[in-house]
Amino acid sequence: MTSRLRAELSDAWLLLLSAAVGGLAWSLTEDVLPTAAAVSAGVGVGVLFCGVTVAIRLIGGTEEPAVRSPELAHLDDLLVRCRSAVTVLRAESKRDPQYAKPAALAESVVRLAERIGRRLAVIERKVDAVDVAALGGERERLAPLADDDPAAADRLRKVEARLAKPLEYQALRDLHLDTMEFITKTLTRVTAGVGRFPGGDPDALAAALGSARAALHDARDATGDLLSGLADR
C-alpha cells in the first residue's frame, strides 16, 4: 500500500490538476476574502482534491481484476486524467457560463468511455480464455469435411469466428485507446491553463468533444457485438 500511495502522489498530472483546482479556488475567493485567506483556501482545495483523487484510486484499485494488460492499465490512467480535467472544466463553467456546454459534453464523454472500458475488461478476460490451440485443431479436423457435411461446415464457421475474436478485440481496443488519447490531450490542454484556457475556444472544444462522443458510440456498439460473438460457441 505504501508503494502504491507513493506512486499516486508522484503522478505529475495529478499534481498539475490539483494545482489548477487550487488556483481556480483562489481566483474565485480573492474578491471576497483577504489575500492570505484566499491563498489558504486555494491551497486547501488543491490538497483536498489531490487527497480525494488518491483515495478513490486506492480504494477503486481493490476492485480491479488481479491482472490487467498494459493497454487497459494505460486506459485506466487516461480515464483518471479525463475525470480530473472534467472536474476543473465543470468548476470553470460556473465562473464562465460559456464553458457549460463543453463541460456537460465532457462529462457524458467520460461516462461513456468508462462504460466501454468496463466492457473491454470483460472482453479481455473472455478472449484470454479462448483455447486457440484446441480451436485450431478442431478447424483442421473440420476443414476436409465441410464441403460434404453441412453440420461440419456450420461448426467450422463458428470455430473460425471464435479464432478471429482475439484479433478483433485487439483492433477495437487499440482504436479506443487512440480515441481516448485524443480526448485526454484535448481536455488536459484546455484545463491546464485555468483562467486563460489557451486554445480553448468553447465552440471548438464542444465540436471536438461531440466528434469524440460519436466515435465512442461506435465503440460502444462494437464492444456489444463482440461480447455477443464471444457468447456464441
Give the 3-state secondary structure of residue 98: helix
Residue 48 to residues 22, 28, 220: CA-CA distances in angstroms?
A: 9, 16, 34
Q: How far is CA 14 from the centre of its chain?
A: 16
Is 65's pLDDT higher than 50?
no
Which pLDDT score is estimated for 187? 83
pLDDT band of residue 1 (cuts 50, 70, 90) is very low
Cβ within 8 Å of residue 175, ≥6 positions away: 219
What secondary structure letter does DSSP report for 66? S
Half-sphere exposure of 122 (CA within 13 A, CB side): 13
Q: Model's pTM, two decimal places?
A: 0.63
Q: Is 112:220 a contact under the CB 8 Å cutoff? A: yes
Cell of 76: 485506466
Q: How far is CA 45 from the centre of its chain?
A: 25
Q: What confidence tens digit (pLDDT) does each residue in 131-189 have?
A: 888 888 999 999 999 899 999 999 999 889 888 888 889 999 999 999 999 998 888 87
Quickly tell me which residue has 462504460 as its cell. 115
Q: What confidence tens digit (pLDDT) does each residue in 15-61 have?
A: 656 776 766 666 677 666 777 776 677 777 777 877 777 677 666 54
* Alpha-carbon torsion, ordered 57, 58, 59, 63, to 10 deg: 80
